[in-house]
Structure 1
Amino acid sequence: MHHDLAGTRHANVFVIYILGFLFTLHAALPAYINSTFLSKFTSEAYVGILYTFSALLTIFIFGKIPNILKKFGNYRSMFTLLIVDFIAFLGMALTGNIIIISACFILSFISIAVIGFNIDVFLESFSKNSTTGKIRGTFLSTSNIAWIIAPLICSFILTDGDYWKIFVAAGLLLLPIALLIHNNLKNFKDTEYKIIPAKSIIREIVGDKNIRSIFFVNFLLQFFYSWMIIYTPLYLYTYIGWSWREIGIMFSIMLVPFVLTEAPLGKLADTRWGEKEVMSVGFIVIALSTSMIAFIQVKSMLLWTFLLFTTRIGASMVEIMSETYFFKKTAPNKANVIGFFRTMRPWAYLISPILATGLFSLGFSIKYIFIILAVVMFFGLHFSLNLKDTR
């Protein structure tokens, strides 16, 4: 009986790995072209506002997640969101109206964030604490293969600004995802989701030094991602003058560290190393390499690829250690706390464009925002060094 349960759990975890790969590919395909696509119809300032508004709505929805899960369950809520996401992507592919595009962008932003949370709930329910690092590391590595493939696919599809092809390709990926969860997770037994008032969640997070610190670590990592995703493609394409084909190749190589490092580091977090040390080194690597972006003006593919690659070595170290640490400290039925942890991404997308827009209005050139980002990343050391290792 025990072997049957273990076998079922392993099979379910494997399904979620595939699910993670396909869904990440769906989200990653348009991720780096969104800001440039939107700036075709409107100003860079409006693009920032659109990201901010999308993030604000996502945070509001995340506050309602435990109630939604309690009423509809994880499977049904995810399946419904897949349909919403599909419609949103078709809308972005088929129209040139900025109002419809903005509405569809907001819907897809929210859907992608919440579906990511649904996948978290599935994975956490099939994970044991002793293997959390290994499972999270493998899941992240599998998902990150999609991040590597996505820019390459984009560089071949995107020949002369025909962005609609990207949205159609990303939308079609939702079909095998829907089939996969329908065939394998339809009978998923939901845990008893605890509906905890927001005040209590905040009190719980603030009251626990380790949980509080890991939330800040995650926020800073998501801040780094959001700023890099919105402004790096704009900077490389508009100011340095790289083509989408060249950017696609650079971005694919840039993301390789996530695949190479996260599974081994996750396993080491279960057995040998402490999370805080690896996280701290990661923040130093991110800060130093990101600051260099502002000083390189030469159009050398080798140099730019190496620099971007180094930023992601640091990010991958912080990512796997923060994920492992948080999920070792959090029970799967605490949907509110997990949900709040996942709102760090929309919070980052809420704050980072506002900060960048403020810097632009003060006369900062886009290249100098990378120095500001590097300074912000150094603050991560304060929080990572505050943690008490789980081992």
Structure 2
Amino acid sequence: MFSFFRRYSTSQVVSVYAANVVLALHFALILFANSTFLEESFSNTAISLLYAGGSILSVFIFLLIPHIIERFTIFTTALFFILCEFISIGGMAVAGNPVILATLFVLHTALISILFYICDVYLEKSTKEEVVTGSTRGTYLTLTNIAFMIAPLLTGIIVSVYGYRYVYACSALLLFPLLYMFIKWLRPIRSESEVLVPTNIPKDTTISIRNKKIFYPLFAQIVLQFFFAFMVIYLPIYLITEIGFTWKILGPIFTIMLLPYVLFELPVGYLADSRYGEKEFMIGGFLLIAATMVAITLPETPHAILWSVLLFLSRVGASFAEITTETNFFRQVDGSDEGIISLFRLSRPLAYVLAAIVGTISLAYLPFTALFLVLAGIILVGVIVLLPMKDSR
């Protein structure tokens, strides 16, 4: 693998592609396993609180990251966070004490968003330097999605044969090639103080609410990330404890579920550009998500084909919403709107906090199945809010 990429190491963009794919594979290996692994030591309510705690810490670090990078450089910051991530995931592979396990998971939840953010900053700076076209980001997302699609299949095999802790060990080991890539290929960015600006949440939120062209895609992003967070936290637990699946079957099901991101995002992006605009695909995608959330409450048996179809359809909707949300948002902002862009990136950890709160409250009064009806209702409310939105083209 290293010999393949070394030929292209003069290209900062390709180096960022490679690093981001390895980071995505590292994260995706454990993404859907986290909840069911933690369930061996914690209640569903406690798991929700752990996700919320890690996401709050992520927001806090995110607000500090411009100052950290300005003082220590983005290159040094990346190396430090990779080492911290190795400690957290490697520690989870061997930790026997629930308190230590919880602490390491919260640390991982906080760090992973920052590491993806750092890769994103490298990509932005590299594209500015190398004058590449907008297709760079499309390729970046597609390669990331391929890694996320492959990983659940590997997770299912490893968990079925060796158990959860080996998944975390494999995930931790992937950080070594990532560290190598940063040291050998990703040179320090020049003028790093100009790459990021501190996020002023009250000011940027006010600007976003007043400017409807920014508000609608930002709101759509929060709704979409809420859906992602809800499914990551609660879907694996539901399928294993309530429906009766094993990871041997869940791995292939999750891989099929994630196929739409690879199959549809680029074609939908092209159609939204050339014919229909973003709004139709965005609203249609959210409606499809809501419909499938209602539908998955109906089956009560582990029928692999049926569940594969339902979850595949849910991610068809999500892929439509994701590409059109990003396209619409980035057409409304430019380099002078760094604070607004930072707020857009903050949507992921904020959505995890909201999803954990809603899930905890819902589980206190409703059966597990009803969680997905709650999710469908929230998405439909989001669709109503988005109806006045205008296409950007």
> TM > 0.5 between the two?
yes
**Which residue in 1 is equivalent to 2:89?**
89
Hey, what does 1:171 align to over in structure 2? Answer: 172
Other-structure match for 1:315: 318
What is the CA–CA distance in structure 1 between the aligned matches of 2:237 and 2:217, rounded to whole Å? 30
Tell me the percent identity: 35
* AA of the residue aligned to 1:86: F
Specify the SS of the correspondent of 1:366.
coil
Partner AA of 2:304 in structure 1? M
Matched, 1:76 2:97: no
2:176 counterpart letter in structure 1: L
Report the residue type matching 2:235 in the other structure. T
- Secondary structure class of the residue paired with 1:237: helix
Shift of 1:58: 1.2
Label 1:277 to 1:125 Cα distance change in 2 as closer, same or farther (>3 A).
farther
AA at the equivalent of 2:28: A
1:140–1:262 Cα contact (<8 Å) kept: no
Distance of aligned partners of 1:76 and 1:265 in 2 relative to their CA distance in 1, 3 Å threshold: farther
In structure 1, C-alpha distance between the alignment counterparts of 2:338 and 2:82, rounded to whole Å: 20
Task: Give the secondary-structure state (helix, strand or coil) at the position aligned to 1:242.
Answer: coil
Tell me, in whole angstroms, the C-alpha distance in 2 between the residues paired with 1:231 and 1:359: 12
The TM-score normalised by the length of structure 1 is 0.91
Pairing of 1:4-153 with structure 2 (within 5 A): 11-127=11-127, 131-132=133-134, 134-153=135-154
Of residues 16-25 and 48-57 in structure 1, the stretch that sits farther from structure 2 once superposed is: 16-25
Over residues 142-194 of structure 1, what are the superposed CA-to-partner deviations in whole Å (9 max), with x where a residue is unaligned? 11111111111111111267211111111111111122122222232236133
How is 1:210-229 mapped onto 2 (pairs within 5 angstroms)? 210-229=213-232
Mapped to 1, the partners of 2:199 and 2:37 lie a distance apart of: 40
The answer to whether the Cα contact below 8 Å between 2:223 and 2:382 also exists between their aligned partners in 1 is yes
Name the CA distance, whole Å, in 1 between partners of 2:301 and 2:198.
54
Give matches, 1:217-296, under 5 Å: 217-296=220-299
**Pairwise CA distance, 1:310:** 0.2
The one-letter code of the counterpart of 1:65 is: I
Contact 1:191–1:333 (Cα < 8 Å) also in 2: no
Q: What is the deviation of 1:72? A: 2.5
Q: Is the 8 A contact 1:131 1:270 kept in 2?
A: no
What SS does structure 1 have at the residue aligned with 2:121? helix
Range moving further from structure 2, 306-315 or 31-40: 31-40
Amino acid of the structure 1 residue aligned with 2:204: I
Whether the 8 Å contact between 1:30 and 1:170 is mirrored in structure 2 is: yes
- Provide structure 1 residue ranges, at least 5 long, that are not aligned to the other structure: 1-7
Change in 2 beyond 3 A, CA 1:349/1:119: same
CA distance in 2, matches of 1:240, 1:191: 51
Task: Tell me the distance in 2 between the aligned counterparts of 1:361 and 1:315.
Answer: 28
Amino acid at match of 1:41: S
**Secondary structure, aligned partner of 1:262:** helix
1:68–1:77 contact (8 Å) kept in structure 2: yes
- For the 8 Å contact 1:32–1:229, the answer to whether it is kept is yes
Deviation at 1:22, TM superposition (A): 1.2
Distance in 2 between the 1:9 and 1:124 partners? 17
Alignment correspondent of 2:3 = none
Evaluate the alpha carbon distance shift between residue 268 and residue 182 of structure 1 in structure 2; reply closer, same or farther with a 3 A threshold. farther
Q: Show the counterpart of 1:355.
A: 358
Offset at residue 32 of structure 1 (A):
0.7
Give, in whole Å, the separation in 2 of the partners of 1:24 and 1:343.
18
Cα 1:137–1:10 change in 2 (3 A) is: farther
State which drifts further: 331-340 or 271-280. 331-340
Alignment of 1:181-196 (within 5 A): 181-189=182-190, 190=192, 192=194, 193-195=196-198
Q: Distance in 2 between matches of 1:73 and 1:290?
A: 44
Match of 1:197 among 170, 195, 200: 200
**What do residues 51-74 of structure 1 show as CA deviations (whole Å, max 9, x unaligned)?**
111111111222222222322332
1:317–1:130 distance in 2 versus 1, CA, 3 Å: farther
Q: Closer, same or farther in 2 for the Cα pair 1:210/1:175, shift >3 Å?
A: same
After superposition, the Cα gap between the structure-2 partners of 1:311 and 1:379, relative to the gap in structure 1 and judged at 3 Å, is: same
Aligned to 1:379: 381
Structure 2 residue aligned with 1:4 = none
Q: Cα deviation per residue 1:89-118 (whole Å; 9 max; x = unaligned)? A: 111011111111111111111110111111
Note if contact 1:137-1:264 (Cα within 8 Å) is conserved in structure 2.
no
The amino acid of 1:201's aligned partner reads D
Q: Summarize the Cα distance change of 1:333–1:126 in structure 2 as closer, same or farther, 3 Å threshold.
A: farther
Q: Counterpart amino acid of 2:18? A: I
Q: CA deviation at 1:196?
A: 5.2
Go from structure 1 to structure 2 and tell me whether the alpha carbon gap of 1:97 and 1:215 turns closer, same or farther (over 3 Å shift).
same
| Distance of 2:139 and 2:199 partners within structure 1 | 31
Closer/same/farther in 2, CA of residues 206 and 70 from structure 1, 3 Å limit: farther
Aligned length: 382
Which residue of the partner structure matches residue 157 of structure 1?
158
Q: CA 1:234/1:197 → structure 2, altered by over 3 Å: closer, same or farther?
A: closer
Query: C-alpha separation between the residues in 2 aligned to 1:287 and 1:222?
Result: 14
Measure, in 2, the Cα distance between the counterparts of 1:101 and 1:374. 32
